[in-house]
Amino acid sequence: HAKERGRNKYEFYKHEMNKRVVERQSIEAELRLALERQEFVLYYQPIIHLLTGKIVGVEALIRWQHPERGLLPPEQFVSVAEDCGLILPMGRWVLHEACRQAQAWNQAGLSPVTIAINTSAHELRAKDFIENICETLAETGLPPHLLELEMTETVLMRDTEDTNSVLRALVEMGVKLAIDDFGTGFSSLSYLKQYPTDALKIDQSFVSQMINNKDSAAIVSAVISLGINLRKRTIAEGVETAEQHALLLALHCDEGQGYYFSHPVAAGEFATLLASGITSMSQAPADMNY
Ligand code: C2E
Ligand code: MG
Ligand code: MG
Ligand code: MG
């Protein structure tokens, strides 16, 4: 009966695999429709200059306003979009929409903020990536120095030759580059020498533990020193408490982002935050619940 059990197990796995393939295919089909129907929205999370408390930047974060399932976080669809190639049109939409919105805030007389956009490896490798950025900046009128592209170390790991020339082209245009989730990838130190990056975003896994865990605090402190010595801005991700805020200030971290300052919010709400110059530190989450 072992054989039979094996067979049943196999049938079970086959069934599960099929189910997953079908699920993925249906997400894929839905994603295609969602692009056409413009069901994606950008939420905006302020980035605070720690010394002055001013909003100096904002990160655009994609959500899917699903007709039945509500507001979906990127974890539920970005990797599917990457696998099926839809990340390219999706990324183009994000880039255009975020730049348009940032320039609209600018022109409304709000204090200029850097708009940070997440860039996936597929986008960086696309032939028309640079052209796309040039066109978007020209079409929206956003000054290049107000655009910051965020990429993870894994993105920077591949095709070093090509990556390097793409990044140099961006820097020549005046666009800024930040390494996202810094400290969670591989051999980050060699990339720091190789690529012309402007900022290090310290991953929230270190920030969230820095008060209770000496090792996390040591890593945060070391990354900030590295940033200072390499003349790169440091941005702490996932700042949630007053204690973390105070320690980051004491360690001379430049900027911070996290629920302590504000959740990611809809465009209209961000404009209000920017106009008032205040980030509420006790506001109920306006973003979806995880
Ligand atoms: P990320 O770029 O590292 O973005 C930061 C994530 O941390 C966001 O999650 C944000 O909502 C969350 N966050 C901010 N402050 C806090 C905090 O204080 N505590 C905690 N626990 N979390 C905080 P979100 O919006 O779900 O995005 C997740 C990831 O999805 C992003 O990580 C980014 O890698 C990816 N992503 C988001 N938007 C885009 C996009 O337009 N294109 C691409 N390719 N990826 C995107
Ligand atoms: Mg990011
Ligand atoms: Mg990050
Ligand atoms: Mg992250």
pLDDT of 123-178, one tens digit each?
Answer: 999 999 999 999 999 999 999 999 999 999 888 877 678 888 999 999 999 999 99
What is the rounded distance in angstroms from the CA atom of residue 185 to the CA atom of residue 243?
Answer: 27
Burial class, 234, CB count within 10 angstroms (exposed 0-12 / middle 13-18 / buried 19+): buried
User: Given ligand 1 and candidates 41, 45, 47, 61, which is best to mutate, with the most ligand atoms within 8 Å of its CB?
Assistant: 61
Query: Cα of 6 to ligand 2 centre, how many Å?
Result: 45
- Which tops the pLDDT comparison, 268 or 161? 268
Task: Say if strands 40-49 and 55-66 run parallel, antiparallel, or are unpaired.
Answer: antiparallel
Q: Six-digit token pair at 130?
A: 């640079």
CA angle 234, 128, 31 (to 5 degrees): 80
Q: What is the pLDDT of residue 281?
A: 54
Amino acid at 114: T
Would the pLDDT of 280 be above 60?
A: no
Determine the atom of ligand 1 nearest the C-alpha atom of 201: 3
What is the rounded distance in angstroms from the CA atom of residue 22 to the CA atom of residue 33?
Answer: 17
Mean pLDDT of 16-45: 89
CA atoms within 13 A on the CB side of 222: 11
255, containing H or E segment: strand 255-256
Q: What is the mean pLDDT of the chain?
A: 91
Residue 68 banded pLDDT, cuts 50, 70, 90: very high
Would the pLDDT of 226 be above 90?
A: yes
For the CA of 45, the nearest ligand = 1
Q: What is the pLDDT of residue 284?
A: 42
SS3 content of the chain, % helix, strand, coil (to 5): 50, 20, 30
Verify whether ligand 1 is closer than 6 Å to residue 147 (CB atom). Answer: no
Q: What is the pLDDT of residue 187?
A: 60
Please provide the DSSP assignment of 66-104 as one string: ETTTEEE-GGGTHHHHHHHTTHHHHHHHHHHHHHHHHHH
What is the rounded distance in angstroms from the CA atom of residue 286 to the CA atom of residue 44?
Answer: 11
For the CA of 286, the nearest ligand = 1
Query: Residues with Cβ < 8 Å from 155, sequence gap 6 or more?
Result: 119, 120, 121, 124, 163
Query: Cα of 116 to ligand 2 centre, how many Å?
Result: 7
Would the pLDDT of 289 be above 50?
A: no
Would the pLDDT of 47 be above 90?
A: yes
**Cβ–Cβ under 8 Å, residues 144 and 175:** yes
- Which tops the pLDDT comparison, 237 or 10? 237
Verify whether ligand 1 is closer than 6 Å to residue 94 (CB atom). Answer: yes
Verify whether ligand 1 is closer than 6 Å to residue 62 (CB atom). Answer: yes
Lowest mean pLDDT among 80-84, 103-107, 160-164, 251-255: 160-164
